[in-house]
Amino acid sequence: MAADWLKRLMAVAVLLTLSSCYIPDKFRAELRLSRFGDYDLTYKGDLMWAPILDDYRTGKITPDNEAEKIENIRKDLSRDIAFRKIESRGRGRFAVEYERAGRLGQVQLVALIRRDARILMLRALQNGGIVVTANSLRPSDAQTLAELGLTMEGEFRITTDANVVDHNATEVRQFGAYRVYVWKIDGPLAPAPHLAMVRDSDPRRPLPPPPSSKMQP
């Protein structure tokens, strides 16, 4: 019975993996996720608007329109008020800081950056499961990004006290009552992070205190 439940849960995770035009690079990101579905998601690093690379290659970006194109990307990112910093580094690359917190509903989807440009997705399911899935690239697309020099290097962590039933973390560390799941991303061909947990159904139980500082364990 438990095996069938896990298969259904992971099938949903695979179906929900979508591509994004924003590519993360040189980043550190952390998701603090409680057994009740409370979350705090932070991202610090670079985001690259991938389509602009082809615009540079084909000559669509010129000295006359480059500033406008870059500003349009900045405006697109600023649609999400969770961005605390958006700073252009040129050629479609932005240094950003992002933080979003809340509690997942019984059935809900939360995405970084948003649903039509997903890098990371949290999905609460009717059966009480919560699936965290990072954007997955097709091997051909990943190879193209590597050839273009996009390193996609970074580290992603999930800190949780929940009952985790599946994950592909690089390593797992114990930190008091929490486990810290760590993914070391070393390029576009690295496996996309995923984690599945079962939510605690008793909302009256108090939340445990969070770790004393983020990204420290």
pLDDT tens track for 80-135:
999 999 999 998 999 999 999 999 988 898 888 876 677 899 999 989 999 999 97
Q: What is the pLDDT of residues 40-90, one digit of tens each?
A: 999 999 998 888 887 888 899 999 999 999 999 999 999 999 999 999 999
Q: How confident is the model at residue 211 (pLDDT cuts 50, 70, 90)?
A: very low
Return the exposure string of 180-212: e unless at least 16 CB atoms fall within 10 Å of the residue's CB, then b.
bbbbebeebebebbbbbbbbeeeeeeeeeeebe
Assess whether the previous peptide bond of 70 is cis (omega < 30° from 0): no
- Would you state the pLDDT for residue 203? 55
Locate 73 and state its tokens.
């990307």
Phi, psi of 204 (to 5 degrees): -80, -15
Q: Which two tokens stand for residue 111?
A: 């995405």
**Per-residue pLDDT tens digits for 94-104:** 999 999 999 99
What stretches of the chain show up as alpha helix (H) in DSSP?
A: 2-15, 51-57, 66-77, 139-147
83 Cβ neighbours under 8 A, 6+ residues apart: 77, 96, 97, 98
Contact 31, 157 (CB under 8 A): yes
Retrieve residue 198's tokens: 């079962």
User: What stretches of 58-178 show up as alpha helix (H) in DSSP?
Assistant: 66-77, 139-147
